[in-house]
Structure 1
């Protein structure tokens, strides 16, 4: 039976004043067991009901608030502000999303709350944070333009392509939850709270696909910020092929995967040169994709997947979201639960994206209805007592200092999990094997690149052959004196090495074991070979990420998703289990599937798809408001995003454009009319933007409160006035590289948390001898013997490597 004591955040009390999709922060904390009380205003609350036409709850409201209790307060009333103040004195965390400088922000008075309750952690989330840009308005499309992702989404030679859904906001929400728990952990160590300031653009720029963060394995170590101007011509990276009943995607990255593909093709002489083991050679050979296209053209998706599995070639069908939801993997996987929207009407929503100790971390399934009595809540929280102080690790500003982390991860997810923990002080030891190196090492010249440096900074490297009995025993010895073990192998991979979660926890019951994978640890797809592009295809996301005028023009090839945000979810769970360990003395196991991450971030879209298939009419069935999209501006491949949310935005747009013809058209006075007139409206807007620079157009529209943004490239972001004002980036020297590496700074602005250190990433096995000596207690003779046997490996061992390990 799950109790408050066993749920990771079972003693965390949260006041949630966030609205819209930002409410997903509290929702994630509720899944991990926190008591989250949503504070809603009195009277009509459009957030609840603005989307559906059937009179039930908004799908977005359910997605952001499942698992919370509800409390109604009017902060314009002094007595209600006093109630909130009293509750803040008993709460651990307050989430708020007021616009800096607004009337609502002044009524809330975060500074006053912090002064009166110095142990309270406040997380303030806004579109752009306080300061020069605080009055700008944002939508997900605006954030996509400014965070550098839009510039590389789509196909070379075409306009950039807005990603589907609200991926920028959803990723920022996870970044915010991670930051909130860092603040709460620090509070438990020091007895003092903090004010955390996170802008949605901060979060989106770091957690979706950071242009200055570790890149995908097919990039050969090239950061997104180093790519050429325009959408890169990289369709060879993760190619999509047409087959008899749709399309499939192949990921041929490791040398052994290419050898399997070579056999599948029938060993053609054209590709028999051993140089084709190299990723760069294959990418430079267009004839290869022509041959693969001919091979699969007459086969079904299922046949291709089966043959790919037989030959060891990672493949995935391009599925619609409906096909994904109808698959046995999703139907029986337990991610989705039905929620009642109105009497007799239910829809499925994700609940339990993380698994803790083998079970999905679900909420209680409730929705906030204003049912909480403030006096009773105050008494309840007062009786909860004081949470235990965490000692044994942590230092002022660095709450993870003193923790030891064994990092067995590979590629992007593996790198990010450990790096996020290292940034706040953890000692992270990257365990590597020369015979099966991390794909990032194998595809980078000399085993180091800017991408590796970005993803593995602040770590140490231990070369260890885990396929040997001695290597396994050394790892178990190290696990016995560590706090966290991170991995992202296919399910069963750790067990095949004799390092299952059960084995590790038997050696050290206080250990926290993370197992991240592509499709989760159970279900029909669990044994699939998985990379992010394949998971996107299987999750129904790739099918939506395409140009409307060409059903085969998919645009997600270069965007790395959900790797970075999946790593943040995993590390958020690590922080939650550290808080639980302070109460119970025991560690635990965390499991996470990337497909679940994607579907949880499309929760409202999942519900809408199911409802639509049942014939339920939704208000947004007529389509997005107009204009909504990417428009040309003056300059070479320069673009601006404009996204109208409703009638007020429309009127503001007409004023900003000084276009009385559009404003006076009665057919454009409402959303339905604007959608019907989309072509005419888009033409008029494009004529206006085309004669202005994107920056000029953005400034003019934002002055009139129109959500608009000039498209930024990753290479331009460090010099952006916004990011400079937020101190978003920092540089460090990686000794093996000619120029300094630019990386993102802290995940949140805080008064009491230090910025991440800037130690370079390690070379392979750089610290093997000192770790063997200092942590494993081995004498020089034993170390020399283990090196001679190939068990303990140093930099010279890379010459013996065979091929990169799969994700």
Structure 2
């Protein structure tokens, strides 16, 4: 099989690929020598302060990419990952970059607004990628204005760890800058309506022709094709179409409620897709298009409902899973609330009956097993609800711990931030910035060999214009001209101070 990228054959299945993998994975040298892993085909950017990890490893000289020019010093050597081979004493192999975040050295261009695109970009920034957020010149990401100034909590929640470049991509010179950024990037993420990037001259076909190794991720409401392709969509539309909203609202009160789950899920799956495509590129040498949508993301998230419907004809509603999984919520005497999830192990049902002082409920035919309790869900709730109003929430939680009952306080955020386990997990991330302080929730991943760090706050609008454009080879005079022509805007903190 002869697959080609830019006119050159890639390393795919076959003798050369098997040889490359064997050479990378079956290194057997004594004494813990450091060797280069074969086949790591990404280039280092010598115009920045990133270390050139290919030196000393016999790295190949940078090649001219087919279909576009690569400036002489921009990518002059292949980035080689370094692997420490097993020692004779039997200790596990350790990578020489232990302590670095997993995506250190990768660059991602983000053209995202609101949540889905920015959330995908932030997740990858947490993993160490350099994420350059391209924003509208005067106002930037619309979420910036959801507060005072252009640094709102709504913006900060989804944009830590990034660099901001303001750019009018509708102008020819702005489009040229965007394409040059994409030439040097590992991935591009966008969440515009299908067709917008093509009208801007930066669609996948255009970008990949210049940079065949790029991973191009498009997030949308309904997909890049099909009868709903051109419809506008925001989070609630995605929740409604994907079947989630019907599981969160009461049929007697259809008003939507709760957080932006469709947007967040789409961003999460988008980041997952980018990581998958980057891994595939390590084997094939080629980038690819990644697509997902709110419709697909939400439908997958609630996929259990589809499986039950096709198997049993069951049409789930807001009470289906709580009833089957034995989930309850109760008010306590101090006006607080708690939640219980018994699932199917009998020991948890027995522990609850002991905790509430009603072991006789175990012998009631209506509650004798999980199926019976599911059928008589409302009746069991009516038996339990008055009991929980006899003690405070803390008293019940102590009894739950004593009897091994899966339960928790139903926190609001002001209570959550005071919880000792929340503090122990280090979930609260604080950042200081000239435009204001911010607090975000950390990435839930804990990678012990390559730990995540959160050193970079959400950026001010255009804060990194000079840095990013200088790395592209633009002089100070050229940058000033772009600013005068409105192709770029003022740097955020500088603009505020003027």
TM over 0.5: yes
C-alpha distance 555-408 of structure 1, shift in aligned 2 (>3 A):
same
Which residue of structure 1 lines up, in the alignment, with residue 484 of structure 2?
788
Determine helix, strand or coil for the equivalent of 1:750. Answer: coil
Choose from 229, 244, 252 the match for 1:552: 252
Which residue of structure 2 lines up, in the alignment, with residue 640 of structure 1?
338
Which residue of structure 1 lines up, in the alignment, with residue 418 of structure 2?
719
Return the offset for 1:672. Answer: 4.1
Q: CA deviation digits over 1:246-290, x for unaligned, max 9?
A: xxxxxxxxxxxxxxxxxxxxxxxxxxxxxxxxxxxxxxxxxxxxx
C-alpha distance 751-192 of structure 1, shift in aligned 2 (>3 A):
farther
Asked if the contact 2:138–2:489 (Cα under 8 Å) also holds between the matched residues in 1, the reply is no
Determine helix, strand or coil for the equivalent of 2:261. Answer: coil
Return the offset for 1:625. Answer: 4.7
User: Does 2:102 match 1:399?
Assistant: yes
Distance 1:630 1:503 in 2: 53
Q: CA deviation digits over 1:469-499, x for unaligned, max 9?
A: 1111111111111211111111111111111
Asked if the contact 2:332–2:389 (Cα under 8 Å) also holds between the matched residues in 1, the reply is yes
Asked if the contact 2:137–2:488 (Cα under 8 Å) also holds between the matched residues in 1, the reply is no
Which residue of structure 1 lines up, in the alignment, with residue 245 of structure 2?
542
C-alpha distance 628-584 of structure 1, shift in aligned 2 (>3 A):
closer
Asked if the contact 2:350–2:359 (Cα under 8 Å) also holds between the matched residues in 1, the reply is no
Which residue of structure 2 lines up, in the alignment, with residue 760 of structure 1?
457
Return the offset for 1:718. Answer: 3.0
Return the offset for 1:511. Answer: 1.1
Which residue of structure 1 lines up, in the alignment, with residue 294 of structure 2?
594
Which residue of structure 1 lines up, in the alignment, with residue 283 of structure 2?
583
Which residue of structure 2 lines up, in the alignment, with residue 422 of structure 1?
125
User: Structure 1 regions of 5+ residues with no counterpart?
Assistant: 12-89, 92-187, 194-388, 800-807
Distance 2:490 2:286 in 1: 34
Determine helix, strand or coil for the equivalent of 1:415. Answer: helix
Which residue of structure 2 lines up, in the alignment, with residue 85 of structure 1?
none
Bigger relative contact order, structure 1 or 2, given CA contacts below 8 A and separation 6+?
1
CA RMSD in angstroms, aligned pairs only: 3.4
C-alpha distance 503-797 of structure 1, shift in aligned 2 (>3 A):
farther
Determine helix, strand or coil for the equivalent of 1:566. Answer: helix
Choose from 466, 469, 477 the match for 2:169: 466
The within-5 A match list for 1:26-45 is: none
The within-5 A match list for 1:152-191 is: 189=81, 191=83
C-alpha distance 767-399 of structure 1, shift in aligned 2 (>3 A):
same
Distance 1:794 1:390 in 2: 42
Distance 1:513 1:390 in 2: 29
C-alpha distance 421-781 of structure 1, shift in aligned 2 (>3 A):
same
Return the offset for 1:658. Answer: 1.5
Which residue of structure 1 lines up, in the alignment, with residue 114 of structure 2?
411
Which residue of structure 2 lines up, in the alignment, with residue 568 of structure 1?
268
Return the offset for 1:192. Answer: 6.9
The size of the alignment, in residue pairs, is 414
Which residue of structure 2 lines up, in the alignment, with residue 264 of structure 1?
none
Determine helix, strand or coil for the equivalent of 1:544. Answer: helix
Return the offset for 1:676. Answer: 4.3
Distance 1:719 1:675 in 2: 35
User: Does 2:349 match 1:650?
Assistant: yes
Distance 1:605 1:482 in 2: 39
Distance 2:457 2:170 in 1: 28
Q: CA deviation digits over 1:87-106, x for unaligned, max 9?
A: xxx99xxxxxxxxxxxxxxx
Which residue of structure 1 lines up, in the alignment, with residue 51 of structure 2?
none
Which residue of structure 2 lines up, in the alignment, with residue 67 of structure 1?
none
Return the offset for 1:447. Answer: 0.5
Which residue of structure 1 lines up, in the alignment, with residue 311 of structure 2?
611
Distance 2:463 2:359 in 1: 67
Distance 1:564 1:413 in 2: 6
Asked if the contact 1:395–1:401 (Cα under 8 Å) also holds between the matched residues in 2, the reply is no
Choose from 199, 219, 232 the match for 1:496: 199
C-alpha distance 397-782 of structure 1, shift in aligned 2 (>3 A):
closer
Which residue of structure 1 lines up, in the alignment, with residue 34 of structure 2?
none
Which residue of structure 2 lines up, in the alignment, with residue 669 of structure 1?
368
Determine helix, strand or coil for the equivalent of 1:543. Answer: helix
Determine helix, strand or coil for the equivalent of 2:163. Answer: strand
Which residue of structure 2 lines up, in the alignment, with residue 353 of structure 1?
none
Distance 1:560 1:450 in 2: 15
The within-5 A match list for 1:273-352 is: none
Q: CA deviation digits over 1:346-379, x for unaligned, max 9?
A: xxxxxxxxxxxxxxxxxxxxxxxxxxxxxxxxxx
Determine helix, strand or coil for the equivalent of 1:461. Answer: strand
Return the offset for 1:464. Answer: 0.6
Choose from 690, 698, 710 the match for 2:397: 698
Return the offset for 1:600. Answer: 0.9
C-alpha distance 6-704 of structure 1, shift in aligned 2 (>3 A):
farther
C-alpha distance 557-665 of structure 1, shift in aligned 2 (>3 A):
closer
Asked if the contact 2:145–2:151 (Cα under 8 Å) also holds between the matched residues in 1, the reply is no
Q: CA deviation digits over 1:299-354, x for unaligned, max 9?
A: xxxxxxxxxxxxxxxxxxxxxxxxxxxxxxxxxxxxxxxxxxxxxxxxxxxxxxxx
With normalisation by structure 2, the TM-score equals 0.75
Distance 1:573 1:626 in 2: 31
Which residue of structure 1 lines up, in the alignment, with residue 475 of structure 2?
779
Asked if the contact 1:533–1:557 (Cα under 8 Å) also holds between the matched residues in 2, the reply is no
The within-5 A match list for 1:137-156 is: none
Return the offset for 1:649. Answer: 2.7
